[in-house]
Structure 1
Amino acid sequence: MILFKTAGEPNTESTLKIAIEEALRTNSKKLLISSSRGYSAEKALAMIPEGIKLIVVTHHVGFKEPDQDEFSAEVKKRLIEAGHVVHTATHALSSVERAFRRKYGGIHAAEIVSDALRLISQGFKVCVEISLMAADAGLVKCDEWVVACGGSSRGLDTAVVIKPANSSRLFELKIGKILCMPSEYDDGHTKDRAVN
């Protein structure tokens, strides 16, 4: 596993390189990435080799403002023309529970799961979530290993080999291995394992 010294955007190309190499070794040849506005998707499109199916998972329309789609229409068009998929969906680990929390307070089960996954890293939580979202849409099978990439706010910094599950079967999801992620741990030797 590669540990990055920092989180987020500076790791996007390194994360994609690691993920693509691993996706080429999987039987599914599928690479899932999260992209809110199109930055990571555009990077992936420039790097993706023939033979890998790129599935870009974006958050739902209205995430920040009602009726607003933050994902770049131009990037979406280029991805689709290249034969890849852009899937816009509600977050599997927050969805309607967020509306209840905002109105009534409290905490809900999906938010507890999200926070537990964030203990590993924000990008790790995103990898799990986009795998659920892609499985719910039928874009990946629940019996195949795929590579998923997520990040911390902007860009990608985490890649995981994962066997997806439908969100209604969350606990059937399997993590094969973590390929890369950011690390806050510094034991004086982290630089030997970290990139950037």
Structure 2
Amino acid sequence: MRVKEIVYFDKAGPENTTAVIEAVKRRCTELGIKHVVVASDSGETALRLWEAIQNTGVSLICVPQHAGYMGGDNTSIAPEKRKDLEAKGIQVLVCAHALSGVGRSITKKFGGVTPVEIIAHTLRRFGGDGIKVAVEVSVMAADAGLIPTDREIIAVGGSGGGADAAIVLKAAHMNNFFDLEIREIIAKPRQREQ
């Protein structure tokens, strides 16, 4: 049996980023975690997390929004910021979102909802956007071969910038999504964003 602390925030949002980073660093040390995946649109949250875990042997993967998400052909992360992150050894992964992708296009064009969007909404009910995003970026990183699927990793997500959720999980590839195991909640908001 294990008894561990979970950090609960009164509300979702970027004001929780520092506390999430501290909790992630602590759990990396306690569990011997070697891979952390963080959703970071601008790269700032990834940079702050790197500052906390640098020189610990933990591999950090930053996942910004895919090209076209904000319109046009640009990603949410500036080219200079990406170069800065990569120079520090942070891997930057830009790819289609695992829990929307083409399904989002179908919904926008024809209405209705796809099974993948139901999974995304279910995760939001459980833990808000941050938990959904953490699961999503772990699948994306696994599909890119950047994290293992045979051991625990930490994934970090947020709502409206910054980070407000972190989980320990055994990741899975998209084609084996239901093999994914959320093993611990490190931090999450008590209330979903409105």
Unaligned stretches of 5+ residues in structure 2: 1-5
Q: Which piece of structure 1 moves more, 64-73 or 102-111?
A: 64-73
Shift of 1:28: 4.3
Paired residues, number: 185
Pairwise CA distance, 1:6: 2.0
Q: Tell me the TM-score normalised to structure 1 length.
A: 0.90
How far, CA to CA, are the matches of 1:26 and 1:75 in structure 2?
30
Q: Residue 188 of structure 2 is aligned with which of 181, 185, 190? A: 181
User: 1:79 and 2:85 equivalent?
Assistant: yes
Task: State the alpha-carbon separation in 1 of the partners of residues 82 and 165 from structure 2.
Answer: 22
1:88 equivalent in alignment to 2:94: yes
Give, in whole Å, the separation in 1 of the partners of 2:157 and 2:48.
13
Query: What is the deviation of 1:27?
Result: 4.1
Instruction: Select 1:8's aligned residue among 3, 9, 13.
Output: 13
Task: Tell me the amino acid that sits aligned with residue 180 of structure 1.
Answer: A
| Aligned-partner SS, 1:162 | strand
Moved over 6 A (4+): none
Give the alignment partner of residue 68 of structure 2, picking from 62, 73, 97. Answer: 62
Unaligned runs of 5+ residues in structure 1 are: 186-196
Amino acid aligned to 1:18 = A
Q: Structure 1 residue aligned with 2:34, among 29, 36, 42? A: 29
* C-alpha distance after superposition, 1:94-145 (max 9, x if no partner): 0001111111111100000000000022111011100100000001111110
The one-letter code matched in structure 2 to 1:162 is L
TM-score, normalised via structure 2 length: 0.91
Answering whether residue 122 of structure 2 is matched by residue 116 of structure 1, we say yes
Match of 1:159 among 151, 166, 169: 166
Give RMSD over aligned pairs. Answer: 1.4
Which amino acid is 1:154 matched to? G
CA distance in 2, matches of 1:56, 1:8: 19
How far residue 9 of structure 1 moved from its aligned partner, in angstroms, is 0.7
